[in-house]
């Protein structure tokens, strides 16, 4: 067995060698790393140096301290407070079970063991711990992003104040200078409006889902109910959606500041695979979509993070607006005069000329929300302009073909 196959570390505390041997063999067959203690004192000593993910604790261990006391002492220490404890007991009295929960236990299992039940409870509590850890990370990321966004808004507010002061000074001196200042002020206000709208609208939906699902998980855990795989999956999907929105938001904020683009040769096949199999895997599954990728992808000069954002925008909006059971095809085609066209074809009813004109009309500032039909390509054009490319749509009677071009290597 190598380290990559080990799942989690479990500490077994039991004074009966037969029970220890049986549990040791059972858990190791499930690829768990197992630690063993024969009394409460050994358990407390081991947890000072090791950090097990879960503890299976016998209640009755004469003549030493009882399992109830061991659990209370574990829950009183900061480094062991969050380790779930499952009592192993032959006691069936309700009072004893309540005493176990009051001492801080997460669950209990009655001897003699039903091994399938024991493994099910172990895996359920390990899943809960993993979910709680992921929620902590996700919540911290969201707090950091809100803090960064607030600082960005404060900075733009100060810029607006400076521009207003400068505008007043130029009112009596130069009409052209006044117009320039007004244009800069309008641009700054538009940027602030875009960022604010993205935070208050785009982020609001996934954050609300995360809060709702987190509450459901918390209630299920407090009532000792099993948490469905669907709930955990939905929570992960909401977190990934929020993460993608934050990524795109930070990207849009940074575009205006970047005057010079440092292009590098990128493998487009790696980017497309990453977006389809990881970044948008939850969305593809949600829409029950079929995605066909070309077998050959060229390498082109560009900015990897920008190209990821472009593919995420193209694919996610194709999934949302291609109708039921989307059928998407992605590929690349060489274009004369040293360019490459990257494209995605969907199976919707196609776009009218008016709709195409709306998609390709660039606004003053990149927008982050979708149009009524398909995505607004103007922010993508903003990125592509800096990389020497362009975005476009081809009308088709059997779906729409969205594309962007880049210079060939």
Residues 29-78: tens digit of each pLDDT: 999 999 999 999 999 999 998 889 999 999 888 778 889 999 999 999 99
Residue 1 lies in a domain: no
Between CA 372 and CA 365 the distance in angstroms is 19
Average pLDDT taken over every residue of the chain: 77
Tokens representing 200? 């208050």
Residue 89 lies in a domain: yes
Residue 118 lies in a domain: no
Alpha-helical segments (H) within 256-290: 268-274, 281-286
**What is the 8-class DSSP label of residue 110?**
E
Task: For the chain, report the end-to-end CA distance as a whole number of angstroms.
Answer: 45
Assess whether 103 and 70 both reside in one domain. Answer: yes
Nearest to 246 by CA among 200, 313, 199, 304: 199
Determine the pLDDT at residue 151: 79
Q: Strand, helix or coil at 105? A: coil
Assess whether 214 and 272 both reside in one domain. Answer: no
289-342: pLDDT as tens digits: 999 999 999 999 999 988 998 998 889 888 887 777 889 999 999 998 789 999
Assess whether 109 and 178 both reside in one domain. Answer: no
Element at 366 (helix H, strand E): none
pLDDT confidence band for 113 (50 / 70 / 90): confident
Tokens representing 126? 């390990």
Assess whether 249 and 321 both reside in one domain. Answer: no
- Strands 327-335, 290-293: pairing kind: parallel
Any residues with CB less than 8 A from the CB of 299 and at least 6 apart, and which?
265, 266, 267, 268, 409
Assess whether 152 and 251 both reside in one domain. Answer: yes
pLDDT confidence band for 134 (50 / 70 / 90): confident
Determine the pLDDT at residue 61: 82
Assess whether 137 and 109 both reside in one domain. Answer: no
Between CA 149 and CA 368 the distance in angstroms is 15
171-213: pLDDT as tens digits: 655 556 556 656 666 665 555 555 555 555 556 666 666 767 6
Q: For 159-181, what is the mean pLDDT?
A: 64
252 with 306: CB under 8 angstroms?
no
Assess whether 293 and 323 both reside in one domain. Answer: yes
Residue 363 is part of which domain span? 264-407
Assess whether 169 and 46 both reside in one domain. Answer: no
Residue 359 lies in a domain: yes
Residue 120 lies in a domain: no
* Of 28 and 171, more confident: 28
Please give the order of strands across the beta sheet that includes 54-58. 33-37, 9-13, 54-58, 85-89, 107-110
Domain end residue (candidates: 66, 82, 113): 113
Whether the pLDDT of residue 377 is over 70: the answer is: no
Residue 45 lies in a domain: yes
The total number of structural domains in the chain stands at 3
Assess whether 54 and 105 both reside in one domain. Answer: yes
Residue 2 lies in a domain: no
Percentage of residues of the chain with pLDDT beyond 90: 27
Determine the pLDDT at residue 74: 93
Percentage of residues of the chain with pLDDT beyond 70: 66
Element at 72 (helix H, strand E): helix 67-75
Determine the pLDDT at residue 362: 42
Domain end residue (candidates: 205, 226, 255): 255
Assess whether 130 and 233 both reside in one domain. Answer: yes
181: phi then psi, degrees, rounded to nearest 5? -65, -40
Assess whether 288 and 318 both reside in one domain. Answer: yes
* Of 77 and 228, more confident: 77
Tokens representing 234? 């939905």
* Of 219 and 98, more confident: 98
Assess whether 229 and 361 both reside in one domain. Answer: no
390 with 310: CB under 8 angstroms?
no
Determine the pLDDT at residue 4: 45
Domain of 352, CATH number, reads 3.30.565.10
- Strands 54-58, 85-89: pairing kind: parallel
Domain end residue (candidates: 205, 232, 255): 255
Residue 121 lies in a domain: no
Domain of 56, CATH number, reads 3.40.50.2300
């Amino acid at each position: 067995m190598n380290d990559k196959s080990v799942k989690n570390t479990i500490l077994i505390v039991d004074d009966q060698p037969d029970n220890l041997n049986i549990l040791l063999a059972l858990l190791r067959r499930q690829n768990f790393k197992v630690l063993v203690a024969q009394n409460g004192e050994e358990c407390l000593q081991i947890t000072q140096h090791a950090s097990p993910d879960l503890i299976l604790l016998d209640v009755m261990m004469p003549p030493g301290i009882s399992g109830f006391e061991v659990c209370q002492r574990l829950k009183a220490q900061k480094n062991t407070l969050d380790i779930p404890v499952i009592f192993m007991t032959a006691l069936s009295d309700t009072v004893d079970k309540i005493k176990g929960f009051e001492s801080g236990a997460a669950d209990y299992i009655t001897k003699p063991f039903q091994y399938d039940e024991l493994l099910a409870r172990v895996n359920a509590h390990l899943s809960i711990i993993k979910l709680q850890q992921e929620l902590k990370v996700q919540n911290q990321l969201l707090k950091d992003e809100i803090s960064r966004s607030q600082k960005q808004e404060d900075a733009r507010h100060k810029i607006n104040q400076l521009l207003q002061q400068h505008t007043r000074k130029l009112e009596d001196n130069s009409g052209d200078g006044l117009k320039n200042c007004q244009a800069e002020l309008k641009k700054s206000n538009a940027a602030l409006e875009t960022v604010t709208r993205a935070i208050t609208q785009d982020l609001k939906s996934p954050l609300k889902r995360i809060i709702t699902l987190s509450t459901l998980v918390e209630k299920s855990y407090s009532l000792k109910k099993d948490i469905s795989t669907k709930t955990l999956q939905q929570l992960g999907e909401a977190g990934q959606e929020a993460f993608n929105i934050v990524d795109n938001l930070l990207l849009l904020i940074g575009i205006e500041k970047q005057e010079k683009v440092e292009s590098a040769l990128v493998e487009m096949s790696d980017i497309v695979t990453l977006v389809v199999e990881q970044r948008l895997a939850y969305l593809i599954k949600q829409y029950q979509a079929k995605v066909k990728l070309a077998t050959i992808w060229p390498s082109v000069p560009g900015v990897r993070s920008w190209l990821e954002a472009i593919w995420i925008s193209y694919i996610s909006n194709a999934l949302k607006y291609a109708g039921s059971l989307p059928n998407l095809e992605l590929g690349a085609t060489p274009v004369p005069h040293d360019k490459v066209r990257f494209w995605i074809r969907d199976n919707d009813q196609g776009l009218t000329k008016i709709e195409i004109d709306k998609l390709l009309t660039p606004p003053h500032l990149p927008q982050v929300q979708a149009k009524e039909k398909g995505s607004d390509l103007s922010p993508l054009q903003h990125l592509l302009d800096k990389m020497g490319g362009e975005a476009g749509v081809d009308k088709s009677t059997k779906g729409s073909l969205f594309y962007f071009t880049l210079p060939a290597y």
